Amino acid sequence: MRLLLLLVLIASPLAAEPPRLALPVDCTLGETCHIQSYVDIDPTDGALDHACGTLSYDTHKGTDFALPDLAAMVAGVSVLAAAPGRVRAVRDGMADVLYTEAEDLGGQDCGNGVVIAHPDSWETQYCHLRQGSVAVREGQEVEAGTRLGRIGLSGRTQFPHLHLSVRHEGRVIDPFAPDAAPGQCGAPGESLFETTLPYRSGGLIAAGFAEAVPDYAAIKAGTAAAPALGAKGPALVIWGFAYGSRPGDVMRLTITQPDGTTYLSTEAGIDRQQAQYFRAAGKRIRRGLRPGRYAGTVTLLRDGRPYDSRETAVIVR
């Protein structure tokens, strides 16, 4: 009996461990990029992330690592292999454009992308890469950290980001909670990432000054922040760009004059859940501003307490 058991163990080796994942983007979380959406673990029509938060949407099958704006995408941010393996499939050539519901992608929602096969039927998939940036070929062996391409806007997407999917034997796995039962959130356990990626259920993306309430398109393009303003301009406005709102959140906007006194301090409430949003506040300039450096602070309040904050400044001449 012992001999038979030994033969069975030799013939059927233990299954390989899941791949350990490195950060798949060359950016700093919380500074130059953020996680916009997690895997939806809710089997119903609702959406729930692994931490029992709402930073997901119905049937979302991956983790979205987002850039702050289109300017960051144009500057170039590399997408990196999260683990060693063999490239199973690639696609390139799709344009970087904002998706609209009228567009038929023909099943190519991933846009330009790469699929990497790992031992024991594990796969990682990298979507929405920039057109012309895919740097690997089918059948190529890659190591963790190999550059696969750059973050883009191809496929079904409204903002520049990398969508990372993890699968085992074709089944979607949440890399932050790989052992959780379907629909189970807040379960203890180790994520597949080599380093701890702090969970954020929303936060601030950017802040800046302008001479009027900026267009949302300019904020998302990265062109809304003015480095300098005229003392006799039309207005002095501060704005904050954020993600993952919850009803009841509040954005506090404050402007401090060169002498340290408060020029403006106001709060704007958020009444619904939004993936991304902005708020702005300011004053019309009637007699001219004092020249100098104006400092701005944008604070996101959640449950009445500061949750995130961004500092900004502008020179008034």
Cβ-based neighbours of 28, under 8 Å, separated by 6 or more: none
User: Nearest 10 degrees: CA dihedral of 28, 30, 32, 37?
Assistant: 100
Residue type, 215: D
Assess whether 97 and 236 both reside in one domain.
no
**Residue 216 within a domain:** yes
Q: What is the pTM of this model?
A: 0.92
Identify the band that residue 53 occupies on the pLDDT scale cut at 50, 70 and 90: very high
Identify the band that residue 14 occupies on the pLDDT scale cut at 50, 70 and 90: very low
Q: What is the CATH number of the domain that holds 117?
A: 2.70.70.10
Separation CA 189–CA 172 (nearest Å): 17
A 10 A CB-CB count for 199 gives 14
Assess whether 117 and 210 both reside in one domain.
no
Percentage above 70 pLDDT, the chain: 95
CB 240 within 8 A of CB 254: no
Q: 2 pLDDT exceeds 50? A: no
Assess whether 122 and 210 both reside in one domain.
no
**Residue 180 within a domain:** no
Assess whether 96 and 22 both reside in one domain.
yes
Assess whether 228 and 270 both reside in one domain.
yes
Q: What is the CATH number of the domain that holds 242?
A: 2.70.50.60
Assess whether 208 and 132 both reside in one domain.
no
Assess whether 111 and 221 both reside in one domain.
no
E runs forming strands in the chain: 34-37, 63-66, 78-80, 85-91, 112-118, 122-129, 141-142, 147-150, 161-168, 171-173, 203-210, 228-229, 235-243, 250-256, 262-269, 276-284, 292-302, 305-316
CB 211 within 8 A of CB 237: yes
The tally of domains found in the chain comes to 2
| pLDDT for the residue numbered 156 | 96
Separation CA 230–CA 251 (nearest Å): 26
The per-residue pLDDT for range 143-195, each reduced to its tens digit, is: 999 999 999 999 999 999 999 999 999 999 999 999 988 889 987 788 999 99
Please compute Rg for the chain using Cα positions.
23
Which structural domain, as residue segments, surrounds residue 251?
Answer: 203-316
